[in-house]
Amino acid sequence: MNRGKYRYHPEKFDTDDPVLQKEWEDLKDVLCDNEYMTRYKIMIGQPINLKTIWNIWSTPSTDLSNIWSHFIAGIFFIVRGCFFPGRFLALHLITAYTYITSSMYHTFRNYNRKLYDIMLNFDVSGIAIQIFSYDFVDTIAFFHNRRNDLMYIYIAVFSVLAILIIGSVPIILKRKLYTLRTVSFSICALTCFPLFVHGIKIYGWNSKSKRMLILRIITIALEGVGIFFRASKLPERCAQGGVFQWCFHSHFWFHLAASVGSFVGCLSTEAMR
């Protein structure tokens, strides 16, 4: 391991307890997944309770910005969703669910691999549900009481795709097919455009449909910005030895872009109200 990159990075977990050592071996490949990040917090062997969780949430470490950025985003979407009825409230709650489970998987990756895996599956599945929730809301906006037959067809197609994608999440994560995850989710995000083309032909090209299309393009662009930061590791690569290695690192900017993208995505669905 390159010691120049890993000033605070855990190279090993010192213990004579074989059980704890096994837990560390299971955990370190998900905790130490970025060779440029620093100040990882190791909590192997600590009890699973609120005190330990608060310890992780209140101590400066590389996951602190990950945890709080997504938790705050989750609370934001819950509060904002309370001002909307029906399907718009459901969309906000689904979005909040995704961000809160993300904050929890970043919590548990510090000390419990089993709970980390569970929360990661919830988080990634939630992202897929969120993507298809946009499609469902858009389908209703375009076709409800205009072409109910098309509405049911699109809902059926999106339901089948959602089941296939969500069902594949545990396999993708278990086999660490992260590129496949990114590609498949990106393709799913683009499913809105055939719907838009068809829907606008029936609904018409006006200020509402125009605003919806523009906001959805911005949503997808922001997700692309987030993926770029996560893949490039640019902040911590270019600013080693400072706050960009343990707080404002690439994963934080990935989270920020995703949060803003989700907000714009909600705005895009509301454009047709």
41: left (phi over 0), alpha (psi -120 to 50) or beta: beta
Measured between alpha carbons, how far is 123 from 71 in angstroms, rounded to an integer? 12
Let me know: does 249 contact 34? Beta carbons within 8 Å.
yes
Q: Check whether 144 is labelled as a binding-site residue.
A: no
Measured between alpha carbons, how far is 110 from 28 in angstroms, rounded to an integer? 9
272 burial level (CB within 10 Å; 0-12, 13-18, 19+): middle
Using CA atoms of 53, 55, 61, 63 in order, give the dihedral in degrees to the nearest 10.
10
Q: Check whether 251 is labelled as a binding-site residue.
A: yes
Q: Check whether 198 is labelled as a binding-site residue.
A: no
Annotated binding site: 106, 251, 255
Annotated binding site for Zn(2+): 106, 251, 255
